Amino acid sequence: MEHIGEQTIKFKNPPTILETSSIVGPKEAQGPMAKYFDQCIEDEFWGEKSWEKAESKFVKETVSTLISKSGISATDIEYCFAGDLLNQCISSSFGLRELNIPFFGVFGACSTFVESMCLGSVFVGSGAAKNVLCATSSHFCSAEKQFRFPLELGNQRPPTSQWTVTGSGAAILSASGEGPYITHITPGKIVDMGIKDANNMGAAMAPAALATLVTHFRDTGRKPSYYDAIITGDLGHIGKEILIELAETKGYNIKSNYNDCGVLMFDKETQDTHSGGSGCGCIGTIFSGYFFNQLKSRKMKRILLIATGALMNSTSTQQGESIPGIAHAISIEV
Amino acid sequence: MEHIGEQTIKFKNPPTILETSSIVGPKEAQGPMAKYFDQCIEDEFWGEKSWEKAESKFVKETVSTLISKSGISATDIEYCFAGDLLNQCISSSFGLRELNIPFFGVFGACSTFVESMCLGSVFVGSGAAKNVLCATSSHFCSAEKQFRFPLELGNQRPPTSQWTVTGSGAAILSASGEGPYITHITPGKIVDMGIKDANNMGAAMAPAALATLVTHFRDTGRKPSYYDAIITGDLGHIGKEILIELAETKGYNIKSNYNDCGVLMFDKETQDTHSGGSGCGCIGTIFSGYFFNQLKSRKMKRILLIATGALMNSTSTQQGESIPGIAHAISIEV
């Protein structure tokens, strides 16, 4: 393992992404990505008494599916890294409390999935573990209730707002395997450009995505064209456009091979999600469903996965604070 | 780096705890540990407009003190690991947003300080970083407001309740230095024994502390007498007694060299904190203030530091859920 440039780690023994799994909710089931997920659940409660319990069930079932798909035993997984958007990350702790694997709670808002893969890959790449599990989730109803307004209010959403994805994505990273490999990680710094509109997360997080993108290219000596796809999650339609423009001002043209999981998740014309999807579950399920599939089938050979997070809560917004953003990147190659 | 036993990592190149710092609030300043902290603040608002902003200031100033005490430059610190008790860990993200160091948000409730040191030590021990920073905080007023009742209500606290410590503790782990060294880490599993009383966290977390304690001894082949001190944080008076009893049933007598940071922080007779201190800031400040000092001066040579966390939130309690506990341990030796 080698620290290169300013903030990138290059693996001498790159961890393999052994397997992934993803389960989503009803709205995601109607979107263009539906066929790539392991399971689509029609009931947002999934038979539970609360949205919070349902979200925990998404985590639990996704991880259970993952372990069974992977062919390895849960006892061969040494550590688990997980987090979510709920206060004190309860979907992860309640969803995984019966898993019986040492647990690291992670919080990076919507960047949590890639943050957990950064941490997990260092554990595997260093020999501290042979297999680790990374998991995350979000749920539209529990997130709206907690961060915004009671759903029963039927509050109108501004055009810049994003739609929290209901779903869970999870991955096993392994010291042995035939790829796709995590070859580099570029963990991000907190970037706060003073945006205060909690209904425009794309704008708040785009500068953090830019910082990590540019640092990754500088640290590795790579250019945007090195990658088959550069993927953020989740800037949405507005944040995506901002990032393309910002990258151009830094001399990087990412127009042709860049997309965002918030843009990919829903149909803009028919699904009424305004600026697109968001939430830890968005990049978590789209990577685990779609991109992992593309890499395994060699349709894509190199992708840069950048997860962005807004490190605020409803109290900080009420107290007039701006929104600190963060973005963590991993380079995945076959 | 070597994975030994069930869930312990043994370092071939043990990271040094290069320096620590701690800043506490007014109640802690009246307790028996006061003289060991870098600074005691008399105003719970610390000149800010809200308790949340004050808590962020505790983090910011503690980290600033730490970097200046350490003698190394902030630019030589590659990664930062931090978390706290507030929803979405905002004290850490707002307190550290100007730090300009790649940031990993961590959530382990009151186990966060040792969780961050577990993660940081793997980064340093593996060569992924030369220096990392670990930080945590809690604040009595922001925690009461968020987890329990408005302070203005003057609600009566049951005898089993603990008092959230106002303060921040932080440490720099380094690849070079003369110790004290982190020689082993034993990250914990989630343990939920069905305790539902959110005013009795000590009882809820003690089984998790036991699980990690026993696993650490089994994985390393060590006995309680190997350590000058076994320290938990924060089980409080009630949880401490439970852990002593539980350990005895497993064949481990820890009576003579075991104590808890929640017990150490306040004077039981005069400070009216019932079962003692709690919160990420409790073990964070007492380790950074008192125990680091004992290790540096060679008054103690080997300690086992076990941080415990209750992975719940106020919604999960309202929905009738039990309280999952977790405990992470690190072995520190000179």
Full DSSP string of A51-117:
HHHHHHHHHHHHHHHHHHHH-S-GGG--EEEEEESSGGGHHHHHHTTTS-S-EEEB--GGGHHHHHH
Architecture per CATH, domain B181-333, reads as 3-Layer(aba) Sandwich (3.40)
CA angle B312, B314, B320 (to 5 degrees): 80
Predicted local distance difference test score (pLDDT) of residue B29: 98
Asked if pLDDT for residue B246 goes beyond 90, the answer is yes
Q: List pLDDT tens digits, range B274-314.
A: 999 999 999 999 999 999 999 999 999 999 999 999 999 99
Of B53, B126, B314, the CB nearest to A126: B126
Nearest CA-CA distance, residue A119 and chain B, Å: 8
Q: For chain A, which residues score pLDDT lower than 70?
A: none
* Nearest chain A alpha carbon to B131: A3
Nearest CA-CA distance, residue A195 and chain B, Å: 14
Q: pTM of whole model > 0.90?
A: yes
**What is the distance, to the nearest Å, from the Cα of residue B292 to the centroid of all Cα atoms in its chain?**
13
Residue A106 in contact with residue A81, Cβ under 8 Å? yes
Residue A269: Cβ within 10 Å count: 6
Question: What end-to-end distance do the CA atoms of chain B give, in Å?
Answer: 19
Mean pLDDT of all residues in chain A?
97
Residue A138 in contact with residue A84, Cβ under 8 Å? yes
Three-class secondary structure of residue A126 per DSSP: coil
Of A89, A115, A146, the CB nearest to B104: A115
Predicted local distance difference test score (pLDDT) of residue B5: 96
Asked if pLDDT for residue B33 goes beyond 90, the answer is yes
Predicted local distance difference test score (pLDDT) of residue B264: 98
Nearest CA-CA distance, residue A84 and chain B, Å: 9
Q: What is the mean pLDDT of residues B257-277?
A: 97
Residue B59 in contact with residue B95, Cβ under 8 Å? yes
Q: Can you say whether the dihedral through the CA atoms of A288, B118, B14, B92 is positive or negative? A: positive
CA A129 – CA A122 distance, rounded (Å) = 9
Predicted local distance difference test score (pLDDT) of residue B155: 87
Domain ranges of chain A: 2-174, 181-333
Architecture per CATH, domain B2-174, reads as 3-Layer(aba) Sandwich (3.40)
What are the residues facing B240 on neighbouring strands? none
Query: Which long-range contacts link A44-47 to residues 24+ away (Cβ below 8 Å)?
Result: A44/A139, A44/A140, A44/A141, A44/A166
Asked if pLDDT for residue B166 goes beyond 90, the answer is yes
Percent of chain A with pLDDT over 70: 100
Of A1, A146, A313, the CB nearest to B126: A1
- Sort out which chain A residues have CB atoms less than 8 A from B123's CB and list them: 122
- B129 Cβ under 8 Å from any chain A Cβ: yes
Of the given ranges (A54-58, A149-153, B21-25, B66-70), which has the lowest mean pLDDT? A149-153
- B89 Cβ under 8 Å from any chain A Cβ: yes
What is the length of chain A?
334
The model's confidence at residue B134, banded by pLDDT at 50, 70 and 90, is very high
Residue B192 in contact with residue B325, Cβ under 8 Å? yes
* Residue partners of A23: CB distance under 8 A and separation at least 6: A37, A38, A39, A40, A41, A58, A61, A62, A65, A167, A168, A285
Mean pLDDT of all residues in chain B?
97
CB within 8 Å: B188 and A83: no
Residue B75: Cβ within 10 Å count: 9
Q: List pLDDT tens digits, range B197-228.
A: 999 999 999 999 999 999 999 999 999 999 99
